[in-house]
Amino acid sequence: MRNPIRSEADAFRFVLLTIGYFALIVIGSVINVWLGLGVFVGLTLGVVWWIVSRRSREPPLPPQAPPPHPPDEHRILVVANETVGGAELLTTLRAHVSGRNARVHVVSPALNSPLRHWVSDEDPAREEAQARLDRSLAAMRAAGVVADGEVGDGDPLQAIEDALRTFRPDELIVSTHPPGRSHWLERGVVEKARERFALPVTHVTVELP
């Protein structure tokens, strides 16, 4: 079973929901015992429905680690959100694949607003991420880069961890906005990726208009 609490944001949301759950039951019980019981039953059924529906939307985890890739193939994992189509990222990729039998896998985390994340409405964010990813992959292939990709978890570190289950890279490229505009840099994503994953990590800064 996949752990539903996969980031600090998930843990914070879980705590707030738990507090609200019990607070509503207490308030209902103070007003009327039967009202409190009704609130308890209604909220509990709602939580059970949410867990079941969320689990049904999650793709199954692969049963085993990915097999080793051919020894003459160099694999690059790229993680980028809004900067996935940036010229600087494409230039870096072309330099890293030059003269190699290289394969690139791009993960574009689904960016979501706090409100939509709170209510687990991730569909619009995933659609936008997929559109950005499709445009980027088309540009990479036009430049002669063998690439495929997927939309990943909104947490970039979790997105990397998920990708490692199916793709065994030789290096990792993380693309962000410049300092001062990048939430990932403010959260220390690049430094944490270097600490967590035993891979060479290249940080690419993309200046979008």
Q: Are residues 97 and 40 in the same domain?
A: no
Same domain, 182 and 111: yes
Residue 85, C-beta contacts closer than 8 angstroms, at least 6 positions apart: 132, 135, 136, 139
DSSP letter at 82? G
Same structural domain for residues 184 and 98?
Answer: yes
Question: CA 60 to CA 41: how far, in whole Å?
Answer: 30
Alpha carbon of residue 106 to chain centroid: 12
**92 and 44 share one domain:** no
Number of domains forming the structure of the chain: 2
> Would you say residue 157 lies in a domain?
yes
- What's the confidence (pLDDT) of residue 56? 52
Instruction: Assess whether 95 and 186 both reside in one domain.
Output: yes
Write down the pLDDT at residue 169.
Answer: 92
Q: What is the SS3 assignment for 81?
A: coil
> CA–CA separation, 201 vs 157, rounded Å?
13
23 & 52 share domain: yes
Tokens representing residue 101 in the block: 């039998």
Confidence class for position 117, pLDDT limits 50, 70, 90:
very low
- Give the tens place of pLDDT for each residue, 27-71: 877 787 777 677 777 777 776 776 666 555 545 544 445 566 777
Phi and psi dihedrals of 96, rounded to 5? -75, -25
CATH code of the domain in which 98 resides = 3.40.50.620
What does residue 186 show for φ and ψ, rounded to 5 degrees?
-60, -35
Residue 93 and residue 182 in one domain: yes
Per the CB < 8 A criterion, the answer to whether 77 and 89 are in contact is no
Q: Do 47 and 81 fall within a single domain? A: no
153-193 pLDDT per residue, tens? 889 999 999 999 889 899 999 999 999 989 999 999 999 99
Distances (CA, A) of 49 to 16, 56, 201: 19, 11, 41
DSSP class of residue 158 equals H
Query: Are 107 and 16 in a shared domain?
Result: no
Q: Does 145 reside within a domain? A: yes
Count of Cβ atoms closer than 10 Å to residue 177 Cβ: 18
Q: What is the mean pLDDT of residues 93-121?
A: 74
Q: Round to whole Å and give the CA distance between 209 and 196.
A: 32
Rounded to whole angstroms, how far apart are CA atoms 127 and 10?
Answer: 21
State whether 40 and 134 are in the same domain. Answer: no
**Structural domain harbouring 81:** 73-205
